[in-house]
């Protein structure tokens, strides 16, 4: 996988080579009328294929379905019962912010170093919750193939842990079993963050613990 600096250099080089070898010659390849017939054909083709997707009707409809309606529904939900949800969420946030400096996360059981394709990997972690409950925290496994070049740092797959058993020595255990169905060298990371169904976004609190 290329680092960001090397990737920027390679992408810039590819762009300038494309402009030099294809775009500029095509634009200036003009006939008797002073026009580039091939350039005009390409421009018309671009307009024909892009307009059905990139237009104001689609844009407004997408904003409505993805942002305005969810925001309206959330506002109604928060305002119900004299803003009970809002008050409960505010109290929960205060509890989380007070407890989070004392929260710890550690690995208890991880898969062995070499596993066969499709074999199930078992992950177990222990988390000191301080004054929080097991449901107040979400623990997530991020798994990807380290040899795969990704355009971003987004994980290939993610899986959520479930609480396992009760609290021991002040720690709550969480477990996950997942089939390892990516070939090659795999990389994984574990993260924990506060969880509440009324949050507008799962990372709204800006708090996280990593392994």
Instruction: Name the pTM for this structure.
Output: 0.68
The answer on pLDDT for 2 being more than 80 is: no
Interior angle at CA 99, CA 93 and CA 100, nearest 5: 85
Interior angle at CA 134, CA 157 and CA 110, nearest 5: 45
pLDDT digit string, tens, across residues 103-141: 999 999 998 888 787 788 899 999 999 889 999 999 999
Q: Residue 179 has what pLDDT? A: 84
Residue pair 202/193 in contact (Cβ under 8 Å)? The answer is yes
Q: Residue 202 has what pLDDT? A: 92
Q: Residue 19 has what pLDDT? A: 92
Residue pair 142/192 in contact (Cβ under 8 Å)? The answer is no
Residue 139 CB: number of other CB atoms within 10 A? 25
One DSSP character per residue, the chain reads ---HHHHHHHHHHHHHHHIIIIIHHHHT---TTS--HHHHHHHHHHHHHHTTTSSHHHHHHHHIIIIIHHHHHHHHHHHHHHHHHHHHHHHHHHHHHHHGGG-EEEEEE---SS--TTPEEEEEEEEE-TT--GGGEEEEEEEEETTS--SSS--SEEEE-EEEEEEETTEEEEEEEEE----S-EEEEEEEEE--TT-SSTTTT---EE-
Distance CA 18, CA 174 (A): 51
Mean pLDDT of 46-67: 89
pLDDT digit string, tens, across residues 155-202: 578 899 999 877 777 899 999 998 877 667 778 899 999 999 999 899
Q: Residue 3 has what pLDDT? A: 67
């Amino acid at each position: 996988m290329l680092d960001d600096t090397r990737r920027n250099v390679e992408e810039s080089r590819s762009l300038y080579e494309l402009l030099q070898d294809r775009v500029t010659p095509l634009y200036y390849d003009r006939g008797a009328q002073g026009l580039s017939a091939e350039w005009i054909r390409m421009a018309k083709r671009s307009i024909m294929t892009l307009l059905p997707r990139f237009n104001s009707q689609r844009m407004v409809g997408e904003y409505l379905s993805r942002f305005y309606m969810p925001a309206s529904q959330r506002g109604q939900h928060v305002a119900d019962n004299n803003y009970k949800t809002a008050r409960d969420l505010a109290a929960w946030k205060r509890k989380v912010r007070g407890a989070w400096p004392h929260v710890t996360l550690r690995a208890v059981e991880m898969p062995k170093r070499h596993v066969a394709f499709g074999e199930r990997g078992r992950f177990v972690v222990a988390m000191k919750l301080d004054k929080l409950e097991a449901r107040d925290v979400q623990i997530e496994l991020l798994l990807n193939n380290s040899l795969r070049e990704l355009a971003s740092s987004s994980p290939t797959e993610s899986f959520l842990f479930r609480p396992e058993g009760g609290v021991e020595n002040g720690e709550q255990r969480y477990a996950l079993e997942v089939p390892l169905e990516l070939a090659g060298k795999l990389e994984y990371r574990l993260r924990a963050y506060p969880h509440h169904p009324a949050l507008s976004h799962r990372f709204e609190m800006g708090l996280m613990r990593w392994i």
